[in-house]
Amino acid sequence: MADVSRCQGRDAAGGSECRRRAAPRGRRDCSAHAGGSRDRGQLLLVGALALAVLFVALALLLNTAIYTGTLATRDAGGDATPAIEYVSASRSAGADAIRSVNRRNDTSTTDLRRAFVATTGRWDDLASHHRAVVGDAADVSVATVTNGTRIQQDDAGRNFTSNTTASDWTVVEGSGVVAVRSMRFTVDNSTLTSIDDAGNATAETVFHVVVDSTTGTTRTAYIYHNTSSGNAEVLVDDGGTETACPVGSVTDGTFVVDVSNASLGGASCRELGTLDDAEGDVSVEYGDGTAAGGTYTMVVEGHPTDGGVTLSELNPSGSPYWTDAIYSANLTVTYRTEELDYEATVEVVPE
């Protein structure tokens, strides 16, 4: 339209090339010229449109590339690793704290609890300080503490008999005893009964530990010296199947029967680990206690003041004896980051 009016305008002014040519043909010429301008306008429009489409397509391509790059490097949601690590660190710190307050052998369950809460609180102060530096808020607090009883014999020269030197006796029993953990014997190799066949262990006078429960199987471990192999051995009877494990190494005439760790003198004995897998009303009995000697320790869940725990064949002090202990604890762990709000109650039971 603009081109056409410009042509007419030039016509009116009388200076255009339309005018200089023959007047009757002037109109035709001018319209022909106007047609050419229209073509040019169309060309420009189409050109501009093509360029516009090209740029839009380019922009889309570029955008897709950038978006792909962003997606490829984006984190897959919130990162829970620090929270999980903190929980696992607080669990092991809690287990260490229980072990250490039990070892210090405080006199009452209240003292033990107070010491445990103090140690856990101090750990939390230090650990959450480190976490705060990276902008994470962490907290550990003691929710509940389960009382327990530690049963122990420290006199390495004594055999595994009761306080009245009874050979077959009940270490602990009662409706209040619901679990047993951390069972370890350090056995004097020279005190063991020698037999020539592991199959005879149940029949001969061989020291044995019986862990009985109302809901599970009765499991028995026999500790003896096998003259055929020349090694000390443990035969585990899980209420049907009998498995014998040879001792790994004997140091200074003693070896450790570690039930929690399922090891015998450092050698793995998987079946041994099942001995303390008892739940319900648990009882621990020793048989033929004269046929082995050394030291031992274990912790049972349940405390005489809570009722249902019979420890009549143990001394208040002097081997074998019992003391107050913490069996386990529940910790409430909270962990907050910019994108994560985590809270969990973890149970801490030392091995």
Partner 1 sequence: MARAQAHTLEAVAAALILVSSLVFALQVTAVTPLTGSTSSQHIENQQAAVAEGVLASAADTGSLTPTLLYWNESAEDWHGASEDGYVRGGPPTAFGATLNETFLDRGIVFDLTLYYVDDEGDRQRVRIVDLGEPSDHASTARRTVTLADDDPLRDPDRSASDTTLANASYPAPDAAPGQSLYSVVEVELVVWRM
Decide: residue 247, CB within 10 A, 0-12 exposed, 13-18 middle, 19+ buried. buried
- Is 40 near partner 1 (CB under 8 A)? yes
By CB under 8 A, residue 2 contacts partner 1: no
**Can you tell me the distance from the alpha carbon of 179 to that of 227, in angstroms, rounded to the nearest whole number?**
35
Nearer to partner 1, 121 or 253 (CB): 121
Q: Contact between 85 and partner 1 (CB under 8 A)?
A: yes
Of 8, 318, 337, 323, which Cα lies nearest the Cα of 163?
Answer: 318
CA distance 191 to 202: 18
Which of 46/166 has CB closer to partner 1? Answer: 46
179-188, strands of its sheet edge to edge: 267-268, 263-264, 254-258, 179-188, 294-301, 137-153, 321-336, 341-348
Q: Which two tokens stand for residue 275?
A: 């001995």
Cα gap 10→7, rounded to integer Å: 5
Residue 203 to residue 149: CA distance in whole angstroms: 32
Number of residues forming the site for partner 1 (CB under 8 A): 37
CB 128 to partner 1: min, Å: 9
- Sole binder of partner 1 in the list 9, 15, 69, 318 (CB under 8 A): 69
| DSSP-based three-state secondary structure for 178 | coil
Identified binder of partner 1 from the candidate list 86, 222, 322, 327, rule CB under 8 A: 86
Q: Stretches 70-78, 156-164, 248-256, 330-338: which one binds partner 1 (CB under 8 A)?
A: 70-78
Of the candidates 13, 126, 252, 338, which one interacts with partner 1 according to CB under 8 A? 126
18 is a contact residue toward partner 1 (CB under 8 A): no
The answer to the question of residue 43 lying near partner 1 (CB under 8 A) is yes
Asked if 47 is part of the footprint of partner 1 (rule: CB under 8 A), the reply reads: yes
Say if residues 147 and 303 touch (Cβ distance below 8 Å).
yes
Q: Interface residues with partner 1 (CB under 8 A)?
A: 36, 39-40, 43-44, 47, 51, 58, 69-70, 72-73, 75, 81-82, 85-86, 89, 92-93, 96-97, 100, 103-104, 115, 118-119, 122-123, 126-127, 129-131, 133-134
